[in-house]
Structure 1
Amino acid sequence: MSGVHLDVEGAVATLRLDNPEKLNSLTVPMLEALEAHCAALERSPEVRAVIVTGAGERAFCTGADITAWGPMAPFDFARHWVREGHRIFDRLARLSKPTVAALNGHTFGGGLELAACCDVRVIAPRATLALPEAGIGIVPGWSGTQRLARLLPEAAVKEMALFGRRIGAERAVALGFCAEVAEDVAGAARALAEKAAGLSPRAVEVAKYMIHSGAGEDRAALIEALGSGMIAASADRAEGVGAFAGKRKPEFPGR
């Protein structure tokens, strides 16, 4: 699919943004590809961990391609670009599999918001984080003031969004946003992903649900998913489904 490639090696999948001539800035086809790949990954039991990275060495992603949204009318910009982008980023954030962002270069605007959707981040020494939207007269629109503000101190988000400052790799680790600085960022991300892939996939999935619920990420749906999973394993559920299929009154064993 255009601009975002999915590669699977063993139990680890890699989503690679591939628009290096524009520093992997996001276009409409790239967003659509990202959403489709996330849907495919959710249905792939052989994949147990996912890496998200960018092509080249200069940038992970420098945000949205201004030529994609610049000509939009205000309501189209809000209704389609911002809301649809949110939906697609939420799809990645709520993937049942653990995700690792390999920040191989500069990570700005929508790229920083994309990185925030992943469970863990590793960063190259030369990479920086930024929210430069105010410099072109807009504001963060894909969770930069919401999800990102749960992962970084408020003051750090304000530094980037209100004062135009960049955060370097070492500080990103000190703030807890990134797990480590690595010269071989791809290798570090791969090691993390393979470690996750070697753990119990069901335990990892449920732990991710529980952590997200505690953090307020899709809490209502996760509570119902966890409850439904518990009841689906019960003898009562088996009896109820069997009774319905057999057109008889159920006799629930209570276990």
Structure 2
Amino acid sequence: MSALHLTISGPVAEIRLDNPEKLNALTVTMLEALESHCAAIERDSDVRSVIVTAEGERAFCAGADIEAWSKLSAAEFARHWVRNGHRVFDRLARLSKPTVAALSGHAFGGGLELAATCDIRVMAPGATLGLPEANVGIVPGWSGTQRLRRLLPEPVIKEMALFGRRISAERALGLGFVADVSENAREAAREIALGAAKLSPRAVEVAKNMIHAGAGEDSAALIEALGSAAISASEDSDEGVAAFREKRKPIFAGR
């Protein structure tokens, strides 16, 4: 059984890391479950928003479980572990529903990269952020030098990745990386998610797509998705489909 669960309560879906003994370090089965849960959320039209949380107060996620990757060859590490992690994290980042990460504890390495996939974040006052990969002789591999670069200034990322320094919740708030600092990050994230659930889901989805396209997050697919949505609502599209089914030439009116 995976230590990553999906719970849906009304319009809010909660993805919860549940491996507190290992500081919620990510394993292969947890990544597989995350990908499956993202697909389930996308299919569920009743879900309006998503929160990503974790059990325990010590760590939101300490990164990737070293036992899951340390015995891989260099080729396997690059080809499978890094690429698979990227694919799964991209899946979460590109959900059509708004996402909020609740960081009740520290977010290091892959845990910080996981938090970065969400649209906004809430942190507990004592939580910190870090990219400690150099301590074990590796580098950030799940977008810590890419997606995170769009969310934080370059010197701040270098501070974490090159100098091993941690970023406090207060500083993260000042940098705009987190939306709020709260003693109960999970409840604060839920309140934000419930607020999003009251908005027009189509307007929220399209706004998220537009923002992501502008930021370079899967921009090619998003541009085509937005264009396809617009054209599919046209009379010409209805006429084209009808003509195909009736085996005749379409008569387009340009509407």
- 2:64 matched to 1:64? yes
1:74 Cα offset (Å): 0.3
1:253 Cα offset (Å): 1.5
Please state whether the residue corresponding to 2:148 is helix, strand or coil: helix
Q: Which residue of 2 aligns with 1:224?
A: 224
- TM-score normalised per structure 1: 0.99
Q: Which residue of 2 aligns with 1:48?
A: 48
Q: Which residue of 2 aligns with 1:134?
A: 134
Letter in 1 for 2:237: R
* C-alpha separation in 2, matches of 1:184 and 1:52: 14
* C-alpha separation in 2, matches of 1:128 and 1:92: 22
Please state whether the residue corresponding to 1:45 is helix, strand or coil: coil
Letter in 2 for 1:133: E
Please state whether the residue corresponding to 1:102 is helix, strand or coil: strand
Letter in 2 for 1:139: V
Letter in 1 for 2:121: R
1:184 Cα offset (Å): 1.2
1:186 Cα offset (Å): 1.2
Letter in 1 for 2:178: C
* C-alpha separation in 2, matches of 1:149 and 1:115: 13
- 2:91 matched to 1:91? yes
* C-alpha separation in 1, matches of 2:37 and 2:181: 27
Please state whether the residue corresponding to 1:231 is helix, strand or coil: helix
1:227-250 residue CA offsets vs partner (Å, 9 max, x unmatched): 000000000000000000000111
* C-alpha separation in 2, matches of 1:17 and 1:51: 11
Q: Which residue of 2 aligns with 1:32?
A: 32
RMSD: 0.5
Q: Which residue of 2 aligns with 1:239?
A: 239
Q: Which residue of 2 aligns with 1:163?
A: 163
Please state whether the residue corresponding to 2:25 is helix, strand or coil: coil
- 2:172 matched to 1:172? yes
Q: Which residue of 2 aligns with 1:196?
A: 196
Please state whether the residue corresponding to 1:125 is helix, strand or coil: coil
1:97 Cα offset (Å): 0.3
1:106 Cα offset (Å): 0.5
Q: Which residue of 2 aligns with 1:124?
A: 124
Letter in 1 for 2:230: M
1:89-135 residue CA offsets vs partner (Å, 9 max, x unmatched): 00000000000000010000000000000000000011000000001
* C-alpha separation in 2, matches of 1:94 and 1:231: 22
Please state whether the residue corresponding to 2:173 is helix, strand or coil: helix
1:3-56 residue CA offsets vs partner (Å, 9 max, x unmatched): 111011110010000110000000000000000000110000000000001111
1:196-238 residue CA offsets vs partner (Å, 9 max, x unmatched): 1000000000000000000000000000000000000000000
Please state whether the residue corresponding to 2:8 is helix, strand or coil: strand
Please state whether the residue corresponding to 1:121 is helix, strand or coil: strand
Please state whether the residue corresponding to 1:60 is helix, strand or coil: strand
Letter in 2 for 1:88: V
* C-alpha separation in 1, matches of 2:198 and 2:155: 37
Letter in 1 for 2:118: C
* C-alpha separation in 2, matches of 1:180 and 1:47: 23
Letter in 1 for 2:135: G
* C-alpha separation in 1, matches of 2:238 and 2:144: 44
1:60 Cα offset (Å): 0.4
* C-alpha separation in 2, matches of 1:84 and 1:23: 21
1:57 Cα offset (Å): 1.0
* C-alpha separation in 2, matches of 1:134 and 1:53: 26
1:187 Cα offset (Å): 1.2
Please state whether the residue corresponding to 1:8 is helix, strand or coil: strand
* Percent identical residues: 72
Q: Which residue of 1 aligns with 2:107?
A: 107
- 2:22 matched to 1:17? no
